[in-house]
Amino acid sequence: MRVALIAHNGRKDAMVRLAGEFSAFLSTCTLMATGTTGGRLIAEVGLAVECLLSGPLGGDLQIGARLAEGEVDLVIFLRDPMTPQPHEPDINALVRACDVHDVPCATNLASARLLLHTLAEAAAV
Ligand SMILES: O=C(CO)COP(=O)(O)O
C-alpha cells in the first residue's frame, strides 16, 4: 500500500506518535511525505520514507499529482485547524484530489487511527 503522510507543524508531534503506534504496519507500506514531516518520521520513528518538498514549497501539490496518477492509496494529513497556512490553496487541492479520485484521506487523529487500525488488522500486522 502506498501511503502519504503529511502534518502541519502543530500536528507533527501527533503524527510522530501515530506513526510510532502503527510502525509495524507502516513499515510494510511504501511511504511518502512532505519534507519536514518525512524527516521527522525517518529520524524519530525509523521508517523508510520518500521525502518530497516541504508543504509550503509544493510538497502537497507533488503528492496531489501522484495521487491523480493513481500512485497513492491512502493519505494521512494531520492539518492544523487553528493556524492559517500560506499554502492553503495547495492543501485544498490535495484534499480535493482525494475526493475526486476517491482516495481515503484522514485529516484528524481519530480518522487516521480508524483507517490504520483497520488496514493493519486486514494485513494481520
Ligand atoms: O505544510 C505541510 C502540509 O500542508 C507539511 O509540510 P512539511 O511536512 O514540510 O512541514
pLDDT digits (tens, 9 = 90+) for 20-33: 999 999 999 999 99
**C-alpha 125 to ligand 1 mean position (Å):** 28
pLDDT reported for residue 124: 86
Q: Which residue is closest in CA terms to ligand 1's atom 1?
A: 55
The complex's ipTM works out to: 0.98
Give CA torsion, residues 108, 112, 115, 117, to 10 deg: -140
pLDDT digits (tens, 9 = 90+) for 44-93: 999 999 999 999 999 999 999 999 999 999 999 999 999 999 999 999 99
Pocket residues: Cβ below 6 A from ligand 1: 6, 8, 34-37, 54-56, 59-60, 91
**Which one, of 25, 12, 9, 2, lies nearest residue 113 by Cα?**
25
Query: What single string gives the DSSP state of each residue in 34-50?
Result: -HHHHHHHHHHH---EE
**C-alpha 53 to ligand 1 mean position (Å):** 8
Q: What residue type is 44 in one-letter code?
A: E
List active site positions: 60
Q: What is the CATH number of domain 2-123?
A: 3.40.50.1380
Q: Which residue is closest in CA terms to ligand 1's atom 10?
A: 36
Q: Give me the residue spans of the domains in the chain.
A: 2-123
Q: Which residue is closest in CA terms to ligand 1's atom 6?
A: 55
β partners of residue 30: 2
**Which one, of 13, 23, 5, lies nearest residue 63 by Cα?**
5
